[in-house]
Amino acid sequence: MVLPIAMGWRHLLFANWPVDPDVVATRLPDGLSVDTYDGRAWLSVVPYLNVDVRPRGVPGRVGFELPELNLRTYVTCDGEPGVYFFSLDAEGLLGVLGARLCHHLPYYVADIDLTAADGAIAFESARHHPGAFPARFSGTYTPVGEAYVPDPDSLAAFLTERYRYYTTGRDGAIRYADIDHEPWTLREASATIETNTLFEANGFEPAGGSPVCYYSRGVDITASRNRRWQ
């Protein structure tokens, strides 16, 4: 049995692009439906740093750091909202293999560098997973304005307040895990994205226009074990 896990998420950018729901629907597995806000689906690029990654119940000091970059969208399964990941790039072959085998998540090995200086976060990622479509991301993001907890009916809450992820097992069945953490505290973000090929790497047209961006300093989370849906 795969143990539940605990970790911290730090220095997150939520860079969000509106897209046609039909475009996203064609890329989802059977059993998942596109979740929309004001009639639009969303694709989000989320770079951040995992810290103190360990089995739940184990002291944080024995955990490890893991920079990560993911492309995700927003879905429902039998009316239950959640996140669906098209890809997750992370450093470390063993961690990636463990996430693929034990948590059924589409992780890929990448070289990732995250640096924080003078209030700005610089993030670079280059995928080099054997046999996988290459993907690159580079950008700098800076929080601006006052911190706030998003209103439950706002776009910011729709894009961030998600407490379940869905994925598929090797047999094609829908699987899920529940995520527990305090509500997000967000700030608006100014982002300069120099390179982003995650859309193309996952079969979408290149990202167009300026994304809606939020920053969070982070939360501590626990995740349940990955389970088969019903």
**Interval 65-116: pLDDT, tens:** 889 999 999 999 999 999 999 999 998 766 666 555 566 789 899 999 999 9
pLDDT tens readout for residues 34-68: 999 999 999 999 999 999 877 777 776 777 788 99
Given a cut of 80, whether residue 161 has pLDDT beyond it is: yes
Owning domain of residue 140: 5-223
Q: Tokens at residue 45, please?
A: 């690029």
* Residue 187 counted as domain residue: yes
* Residue 230 counted as domain residue: no
* Residue 73 counted as domain residue: yes
CATH number of the domain where residue 147 is located: 2.40.400.10
* Residue 84 counted as domain residue: yes
* Residue 182 counted as domain residue: yes
* Residue 66 counted as domain residue: yes
* Residue 228 counted as domain residue: no
* Residue 229 counted as domain residue: no
Q: How many domains does the chain have?
A: 1
Q: Tokens at residue 194, please?
A: 């120099």
Q: Do the Cβ atoms of 202 and 26 come closer than 8 Å?
A: no
**Cα 108 to Cα 104: distance, rounded to the nearest angstrom:** 12
Beta bridge partners of 21: none
pTM of the complete model: 0.94
Rounded (10°) CA dihedral 93, 103, 218, 123: 30
The sign of the dihedral angle between the CA atoms of 18, 48, 6, 218 is negative
